[in-house]
Amino acid sequence: MKTMRVLVCLLTLTLGALFLTTPWATQSQAAGTVIYEFRSKICPYCYELAEILGELSKKYPGQFMVQEYWNERDEAMFKKYDVSLVPTLIILGPSGRVAFRHEGAISKDELVSRLKGLNVIRD
């Protein structure tokens, strides 16, 4: 059992060193950025935000990923992130930590500014 723990520790250290020395590890955190979009079927602002995110996904391909969650079917995620207002955006970095949270409507210009400020998107 002790040998197994030592092997697991060595493997973890080796993989960690490999991760830190690979070129993609030094790029901005944007490659691993996930945007959670919490929405509802009866929310007009949610549809506007979805349209904005779709436009940005096309303009900045591969720089972030959008995951939609609907209050009608994804109750567990709403509870996990304590979402009670839609639309709500939560931006996660590669570490899985919340880097930004916004509740309510947001303009395209404001969202682009915020995403650039967080190094999520680049021109």
CATH number (domain holding residue 108): 3.40.30.10
* Residue 122 within any structural domain of the chain: no
pLDDT at 123: 86
How many domains, the chain?
1
Interval 25-59: pLDDT, tens: 333 444 569 999 999 999 999 999 999 999 999 99
Percent of the chain scoring above 90 in pLDDT: 67
Where does the chain show beta strands of DSSP type E? 34-39, 65-70, 88-92, 98-103
Please report whether residue 7 resides in a domain.
no
Q: Is the pTM of this model over 0.85?
A: no
Side-by-side strand order, sheet with 34-39: 65-70, 34-39, 88-92, 98-103
Is 42 part of a structural domain of the chain?
A: yes
Burial of 102 (0-12, 13-18, 19+ CB in 10 A): middle
Give the domain extent around 83.
28-117
Tell me which residues of the chain have a pLDDT lower than 70.
Answer: 1-32
What per-residue confidence (pLDDT) applies to 31?
55
